[in-house]
Amino acid sequence: MKNFRILFFGDVVGPDATKRLASSLWGLRKKYGADMAIVNGENCAPGNGIDKAGADMLLSGGADVITTGNHVFKRFEADSLLDDEPGIIRPANYPPQLSGAGFSLCDCGSATVLVINLLGLVDMEPLACPFATADKILAENRGKYDFSIVDFHAEATSEKKAMLFYLDGRVTALVGTHTHVETADETVTESGTAYITDVGMCGAEASVLGVKPECIIRRLTTHHPVKFEVAEGKTVLCGVLIEIDPATRKAVSIKRIKE
């Protein structure tokens, strides 16, 4: 049986990057032989958050699941989007009365993949414990999936590494998002969990985390509120390719990709 491959792209920032990723995703799936594609779309709307136009583009462009993060509820339309489209998920440790689900069981033909979205708490909002939330979702879905992947949308590298040791051997892959800066620590543990602290972003190359540098410099030098504008120009698509052996259900490799 051939290895199962998951292509995961980090935070898409703004409509230009969304358009580029959506128009090239089927081609990239083919190029990397991917059986599944996951995209973090928390910032695919103009400015901030997720909107229907961006989500539709990514889903029809080849994303099986869209994960999100701390910006998911920035736009009012996010609620109906999360309720209507099971392929779009939001962090599972938000209060349960909010719209949407924190995980998705994705039928990819040859395998069913459990995708979990969690938000970190360090230097972020005081939500429910992401560690306990992961335990709960894994227990609830036992026996219902072949492989599992967690998008841990978190600020602190320490919290992400701690989550790796906490979930080691219990999930097939754990990838970090949110910082928009790709880390060089991709690894597969002895227990067969693929990991990277942050996948990086899909956005303008000449930018500060996808935003026009002048906005960020003005903010940092004046400490005055500044409207963040999405940077334009050449975009870079940062992601990882994770390969899983279906016989052992363990990850065998994780590779950073930049397109």
Catalytic positions, please?
71
Among 178, 197, 230, 235, binds Fe ion (CB under 5 A): 178
User: Nearer to Fe ion by C-beta: 43 or 104?
Assistant: 43
Q: Does 90 bind Fe ion (CB under 5 A)?
A: no
User: C-beta of 234: minimal distance to Fe ion in Å?
Assistant: 19
- Are the C-beta atoms of residues 42 and 58 closer than 8 Å to each other? no
User: Nearer to Fe ion by C-beta: 178 or 250?
Assistant: 178
User: C-beta of 53: minimal distance to Fe ion in Å?
Assistant: 18
User: Nearer to Fe ion by C-beta: 29 or 178?
Assistant: 178
Task: Centre a 10 Å sphere on the Cβ of residue 56 and count the other Cβ atoms it contains.
Answer: 13
CB burial string 216-247: b at 16+ within 10 A, e below: beebeeeeeebebebbeeebbbbbbbbbbbee
User: Nearer to Fe ion by C-beta: 171 or 238?
Assistant: 238
In angstroms, what CA-CA distances link 55 with 46, 77, 106, 130, 245?
12, 11, 17, 25, 30
Q: Which residues contact 68 (CB under 8 A, 6 or more apart)?
A: 40, 41, 42, 50, 88, 89, 90, 91, 117, 153
* Burial zone of 47 (CB within 10 Å; 0-12 exposed, 13-18 middle, 19+ buried): middle
User: C-beta of 61: minimal distance to Fe ion in Å?
Assistant: 19
User: Nearer to Fe ion by C-beta: 160 or 178?
Assistant: 178
Binding segment for Fe ion (CB under 5 A), chosen from 30-38, 62-70, 76-84, 222-230, is 62-70
Among 18, 70, 148, 172, binds Fe ion (CB under 5 A): 70
- How many amino acids of this chain bind Fe ion (CB under 5 A)? 5
User: C-beta of 209: minimal distance to Fe ion in Å?
Assistant: 8
Among 11, 186, 198, 243, binds Fe ion (CB under 5 A): 11
User: C-beta of 210: minimal distance to Fe ion in Å?
Assistant: 8
Return the HEC string of 190-235: CCCCEEECCCCCEEECCCECCECHHHHHHHHHHCCCCCCCECCCCE
Residue showing the smallest CB distance to Fe ion in the complex = 11
Among 41, 49, 62, 69, binds Fe ion (CB under 5 A): 69
Q: Footprint of Fe ion on residues 35-54 (CB under 5 A)? A: 43
Sites of contact with Fe ion (CB under 5 A):
11, 43, 69-70, 178
